[in-house]
Amino acid sequence: MLPLSFPPPTASTTSKISDQPKTPSHNFEIPKIPLSEPFFSPMGLLMSCFSEQASEAAGGNTKRRRHPPPPPGASRRRGSVRLRDDEAAAIQELAQAAAAAIIQQQQQNGGSALAPPFDRSTSLRYQKKQSGTGGDLPRSMSTRPRLAGEPLVQPQQLLTQDVKADELETNIIVLVHGGGFGAWCWYKSISLLEDSGFKVNAIDLAGSGVNSSDTNTITSLSEYVKPLTTFLESLNEDQKVILVGHDFGGASISHAMEMFPKKVAKAVYVSAAMLTSGRSTLDMFSEQADANGLLHSAQKFVYSNGKDQPPTAISLDKALIKELLFNQSPSKDVSLASVSMRPIPFAPVLEKLSLTEENYGSVRRFYIETTEDNTIPLSSQQKMCELSPPEKVFRLKSSDHSPFFSKPQALHKLLVEIAKMPPLANP
């Protein structure tokens, strides 16, 4: 406790009480206690402030009270008090008892007798109990307490648990991007699938991603899909893959399935062009509804051979790609796409597919619909499934045309579910 200090007394405070006015006054004289007395403490100085003189001054009573004569041996000096030895000993005994009580309270309250200990954060207050057998820690009401036998699970493991590669028909997944995209668009899916134990290959088709081909020089679908077919051709005879195609990548994997049907265990079309034989991707886009004209407004044809020649590529207006392709996707992914997308070669879009039941038709197909798609509307996706029914149709709610951005975890869950489906029994 810090020593107390008061202003020096004034004339009004040293005058006789009978001379003061009858109105209440809060100025009073502080008795001076020398440090040489038998017992002195700051607390005693505080108690002296509430002397009879202070009470009279505060209450406005100007009648002077008679004080008993000082005990024998005590000093008659005004403002000082000298106690007898027995009184000083009694007071000191009471003070020691009070000090002992204060120390005991400090020990019980963690070091402070005036207030309980500061309520620190839960992580500090319960730090010792985490490694011992103490009481339970406060838990969030949104989570179930982990049982003693349950292992700690990382967030991504909730999506990847119970996936065993030796129980799958194949653990090789090949991701094929859509028009204007590249292998870069699958970065979230690649991470999730690899964490699940899959071997993932994301292909950059000709003139896409980091592929060095000039988009304007690609004149056929087979040339455009060459990086994919080269990869399939390099596989061993007993190896199979799961092909996943998005957007225009649907036509690309259909072409590859026709060429290498025995190397494709399953094919997954993600809001993709799943065409019948004799149809082109341009046919699909020409027939689908474009109520707001967004797709037409976003397309810009490139004429590298001159205006009097057919277009060589299609580019998309960067100002409209968010509404067209990424209307439900995070802004960071939209920014990634805006600096990574390349023009789409026009000749492969015009080419009609030639598919046979023996090759293309022998591969198991699955379709994943996207409900908030502004590029291939849900109605167009459903129409393609009606014309060429797949084995099973899945639906990603609240997903735009790019579910690898807007719904990566939900897309991953469906891909794992499809991969875990056992092979069909031979007829």
pLDDT tens across 339-354, in order? 999 999 999 999 999 9
* Whether the predicted pLDDT of 199 surpasses 50: yes
> What does each C-alpha distance from 136 to 133, 153, 170, 328 come to in angstroms?
9, 20, 45, 42
To the query of whether residue 247 is one of the catalytic residues in this protein, the response is: yes
Catalytic pick among 177, 246, 255, 401: 401
In angstroms, the CA 359 to CA 363 distance is: 7
pLDDT at position 68, please? 59
In angstroms, the CA 173 to CA 185 distance is: 15
pLDDT at position 69, please? 60
pLDDT, average across residues 353-371? 97
* Whether the predicted pLDDT of 40 surpasses 70: no
pLDDT tens across 376-386, in order? 999 999 999 99
* Whether the predicted pLDDT of 9 surpasses 50: no
- For the chain, first and last CA: distance in Å? 95
pLDDT, average across residues 278-304? 87
In angstroms, the CA 105 to CA 107 distance is: 5
Please report, as a single letter, which amino acid is at residue 336: L
* Whether the predicted pLDDT of 243 surpasses 80: yes
What phi, psi does 344 have (nearest 5°)? -95, 125
pLDDT, average across residues 58-63? 47
* Whether the predicted pLDDT of 278 surpasses 60: yes
Say which DSSP state 370 is in.
Answer: E
What phi, psi does 53 have (nearest 5°)? -65, -40
Catalytic pick among 247, 255, 333, 400: 247
Residue 122 neighbours by CB under 8 Å, 6+ apart = 137, 138
* Whether the predicted pLDDT of 48 surpasses 60: no
* Whether the predicted pLDDT of 93 surpasses 60: yes
Q: Are 179 and 152 in contact (CB under 8 A)?
A: no
The candidate with the shortest Cα–Cα distance to 373, out of 330, 326, 413, is: 326
**C-alpha dihedral over 324, 329, 334, 335, to 10 degrees?**
160
Tokens of 136: 């339970």
More confident residue, 328 or 82: 328
pLDDT at position 234, please? 96
Binning pLDDT at 50, 70 and 90, where does residue 81 land? low
Give strand ranges (E) for 129-277. Answer: 172-176, 199-203, 241-246, 264-270
CA R_g for the chain: 44
> What does each C-alpha distance from 375 to 195, 316, 324 come to in angstroms?
31, 12, 6
Give strand ranges (E) for 334-406. Answer: 344-345, 364-370, 392-396
Catalytic pick among 255, 373, 400, 412: 373
Please report, rounded to a whole number, the percentage of residues in the chain having pLDDT higher than 70.
64
Q: Are 31 and 79 in contact (CB under 8 A)?
A: yes
Cβ count near 220 (within 10 Å): 14
CA atoms within 13 A on the CB side of 427: 1
